[in-house]
Amino acid sequence: MRKVAFLIAASPTDAFYSQIAALCARMRSLSWTRWEPSVHVFVGGDRRDDCLRGWLPYLTNVNICWTSESRFARESDWAQSDDAIRLAPRDADVLVALDADTFPITGFEPMLDRVHDTAAVAGVIAHYPTLLAFEFDVTSNTFSVRTGAGIRRESLREAWSRLARGLTDVPLDFAHAHTLMGPERPPEHRLTPFYLNFGVVAFPRAAFDVVAPRYLTFRPQVMARMRDTDFSGQVALTLAMADAQVRTWALPLRYNFPNDPVAEAMYPGELEQVAIVHYLRTTDLNRHRLFTTPEEYATFLGLQLSGANRVFREAVTQTFGTRYPFARRGVRQT
C-alpha cells in the first residue's frame, strides 16, 4: 500500500488535543484500501504543561514531535508550523498538511490517488485575497494596503509582485478565482495565482521535496513584508510552488469545505458531496471547546445547525454517538 502522512501543527492546549483526538478517531473509522495513513503532530510551547498526559490515550499511533524551546521562543507558533514541513517523514508517498479543525465526512482515497499519479500539489483556492489587509476604493479601482511602511494603494497584481520581488522571477499565473468571491466582482478583484486556503494541502513526494526548502526560506521574508502575518505561510507557499514550477491541481471545494453560509449558497453541489469539512468559523459553534468536556460536547449536540455544520455534526455522532468520547480526568479549559 502507498503511504500518506498527515502533518498537523498544534499548541499544547485542550482545544488542539481534543480536535486532533476527534480527527484521528474519524480517520480510523474510514475505509482505507489503497493507502496506509499516519498522523504526525508538531507541538510548540511549554513542555512542562501536563495537558498532553490526559489526551495520550486518545492519540494512539500519533507521532508527536516537540519544537525546540529556543526556536519557539524566537518564532512563536510559526516554529511548529515550519517544523511540520521541515521534519516531515521521508517515507510517505503523499504528504497532507492538515489543520486540526478539519473533519473527514467520507473517504478521500481517489483524491490521494490523483495527487500521486499526476504529481500535482493539490488544494482549494483561498476564499478571499487575504494576503492583504485592505479596503477597496471604487473610484481608483485599487486597494488601500496596510504595509509595515504605512498605507499605500495598489492592485492585487501589484501586491503579489511586491511580495514576490527578490524571491522568484517566475511569472505568477492569475488563472484562478477566489472561491468565495462571486462573479459580480470584477476579475481584477477575484483572480489569483495558485493561492491555497490552508486546511487541506496535498503534496506528492517529489513536489514536496522541491517546494519545502523554498517555502522555509521564503516564509520569514514574506512575513517581514506583511502587516497581517497570519497569511504569510499561504503567500510563501504560492511563491515556492511557482518558483519550483511544480504541477498543481485546484481541488473542488468539497475537499476543504468551510462551515460558511457564503460557501453553502455558492456551492450547494459541493456541499452534497463534501469529503472534508473545515469547521473554522465560530459563528454557530465554538471549535476550540466542543470536544474538550462532556458539557461542551452536549452543548454542541443540542445546537440548531444547518449546512456544513449539520453535516459535520452528523459525521461526529456517526463516529462517537451522543456520549462524550473522551472519558478523562478534569481538563483545563483554554
Write out pLDDT tens, residues 268-313: 999 999 999 999 999 999 999 999 999 999 999 999 999 999 999 9
- Tell me whether residue 225 is in a domain: no
Residue 130: what pLDDT? 67
| Low-confidence spans in the chain with pLDDT less than 50 | 132-134, 138, 329-334
Q: Which three cell numbers stand for residue 174?
A: 492569475
Sequence-distant (≥ 6) Cβ neighbours of residue 224 within 8 angstroms: 148
The domain boundary, picked from 192, 216, 232, lies at: 192
pLDDT in tens, 73-90: 898 999 999 999 999 999
185 and 154, same structural domain?
yes
The domain boundary, picked from 168, 192, 216, lies at: 192
Looking up cell 473517504, which residue turns up? 107
Residue 147: what pLDDT? 53
User: For residues 221 and 334, what is the distance between their CA atoms, to the nearest angstrom?
Assistant: 32
The domain boundary, picked from 192, 212, 236, lies at: 192
Q: Is 278 helix (H, G, I), strand (E, B) or coil?
A: strand
- Tell me whether residue 202 is in a domain: no
Residue 216: what pLDDT? 98
Sequence-distant (≥ 6) Cβ neighbours of residue 51 within 8 angstroms: 12, 13, 14, 17, 331, 332
Amino acid identity, residue 174? F
Residue 228: what pLDDT? 74
Share of the chain above pLDDT 70, in %: 90
- Tell me whether residue 64 is in a domain: yes
Residue 47: what pLDDT? 76
146 and 77, same structural domain?
no
Pairing relationship of beta strands 276-278 and 102-104 according to DSSP bridges: antiparallel
pLDDT in tens, 134-165: 455 545 555 555 555 556 667 788 889 989 99
Which residues span the domain enclosing 16? 2-118+251-320
Q: State the CATH number of the domain containing residue 281.
A: 3.90.550.10
Other Cβ atoms less than 10 A from the Cβ of 330: the count is: 7
Residue 65: what pLDDT? 96
144 and 100, same structural domain?
no
